Amino acid sequence: MLVMALSKSLHKLDLINTIQLLGVAYHFEQEIEESLSYMYIDYEEWIGDLPDIPLCFRLLRQQGYYVSCDVFRKFTNDQGNFKKELINNVHGMLSLYEAAQFRVHGEEILDEALNFTTTQLKLILPKLSNSHLAQQVANALKFTIKDGIVRVETRKYISFYQQNQNHNQVLLNFAKLDFNILQRLHKKELSDITRWNIDASEQLPSYMKILYCHLLDVYKEIEKELANENKSFLVDYSIIEMKKVLRAYFQEAKWYYNKKEVPRMEQYMKNGIPSSGYQLLATTSWLAMGNITTKDVFEWIATEPPILVASCCITRLLNDLSSHEV
């Protein structure tokens, strides 16, 4: 599809953007680089309007090309303010809003573009009759395209794209298949981690192997220090709590991706006890308490006493409140 599309066509811009948002761009890295490299050469001669110019600008900056933001001056009036008629083009406003996320220090016109589009999109959102577009705008305002969690945003965009009547069915099917394959891979990686030995790291990708091996090294160092006091066995209590945290995170991920499975409050809070990390912190902290550290202390913590459970719940809910506000 990328090869067949004309090098400077608006269709190719939209196709590259769609492929990236669907999370399958890593399959077409060479084709995307060649296309954007060609666009970069003739960037100053680019002729277009909203949403094409902001889209071209964003794609090039995402790829590492520095392009001038002066192209956006065509959307301002004699006073330097963005033209009011732009608000009638919701797709264009959204494209300009996303392009402004890639501004650098000193680009005042993009600072103004961000303020203008943010204000106007918030005003437009309640009036949108197109539910598909409304969902996209609401998500863009809450989770910026530059800072969103890639796989989470990919899952959302697959749903958005499916609702688009002009979607490419082949591309959509490919994105769904790719997403499910990666999800199964991540599940296997988590399973390998919970085996908790160096052999498990051989099944992990290089980036995760580094983190996993360092984590093992930390516990080995603690175990070595406690061996002088014949207490190295106490490390196992912390390892057990670490596994609980990992499993709890994985459960939260499954709830998030499976929109049909919304947990009841009781289920969520039960999983929230380990996912708060408080019990892991309490257990690990006791490893450094010296002579007062005994097996009885860890056995007591392992029973999840009410005072500890209450602390976990408070931590979980406070964390949720803070992240929701953000």
| Residue 288 banded pLDDT, cuts 50, 70, 90 | confident
pLDDT of residue 325: 55
Q: How much is the average pLDDT of 288-292?
A: 83
Q: How much is the average pLDDT of 115-137?
A: 92
| Residue 256 banded pLDDT, cuts 50, 70, 90 | confident
172 & 230 share domain: no
230 & 314 share domain: yes
Cα–Cα separations (whole angstroms), residue 12 to 1, 8, 174, 178? 9, 7, 18, 21
- Last residue in a domain, options 143, 177, 211: 177
pLDDT of residue 197: 67
130 & 232 share domain: no
172 & 232 share domain: no
pLDDT in tens, 169-183: 999 999 999 999 988
Within a domain: 267: yes
Is the Cα dihedral 134, 139, 141, 142 positive or negative? positive
Total structural domains within the chain: 2
| Residue 198 banded pLDDT, cuts 50, 70, 90 | low
In the chain, pLDDT over 90 holds for what percent of residues? 51
Closest by CA to 159, choosing from 142, 172, 177, 146, is: 172
Q: Please give the model's pTM, rounded to 2 decimal places.
A: 0.64
pLDDT at 304 over 80: yes
Within a domain: 182: no
Q: Please give the residue that has the higher pLDDT: either 219 or 115.
A: 115
pLDDT at 311 over 70: yes
Window from 59-68, 95-104, 138-147, 208-217 with minimum mean pLDDT: 208-217
129 & 253 share domain: no
Q: Are 103 and 110 in contact (CB under 8 A)?
A: yes
Within a domain: 255: yes
Distance CA 162, CA 169 (A): 8
Distance CA 272, CA 261 (A): 16
Name residues whose C-beta falls within 8 Å of residue 253's C-beta, 6 or more positions apart in sequence: none
Taking the CA atoms of residue 62, residue 163, residue 84 and residue 15 in that order, the dihedral angle to the nearest 10 degrees is 30
Average pLDDT for the chain: 87
Distance CA 106, CA 35 (A): 29
201 & 119 share domain: no
pLDDT of residue 293: 82
Q: Are 103 and 111 in contact (CB under 8 A)?
A: yes
229 & 297 share domain: yes
Environment class of 52 (CB within 10 Å of its CB; exposed 0-12, middle 13-18, buried 19+): middle
pLDDT in tens, 243-253: 899 889 888 88
pLDDT in tens, 70-118: 999 999 999 989 999 999 999 999 999 999 999 999 999 999 999 999 9
198 & 151 share domain: no
pLDDT at 326 over 50: no
pLDDT of residue 211: 83
pLDDT of residue 24: 95
135 & 30 share domain: yes
Within a domain: 173: yes
Within a domain: 232: yes
Cα–Cα separations (whole angstroms), residue 87 to 62, 96, 130, 136? 25, 11, 16, 16
Residue 98's domain spans which residues? 10-177
Query: What is the domain-level CATH number for residue 248?
Result: 1.10.600.10
pLDDT in tens, 150-172: 888 999 999 999 998 889 999 99
- Last residue in a domain, options 114, 142, 177: 177
In the chain, pLDDT over 70 holds for what percent of residues? 91
pLDDT of residue 131: 83
Within a domain: 3: no
Q: How much is the average pLDDT of 202-231?
A: 84
pLDDT of residue 260: 64
Within a domain: 2: no
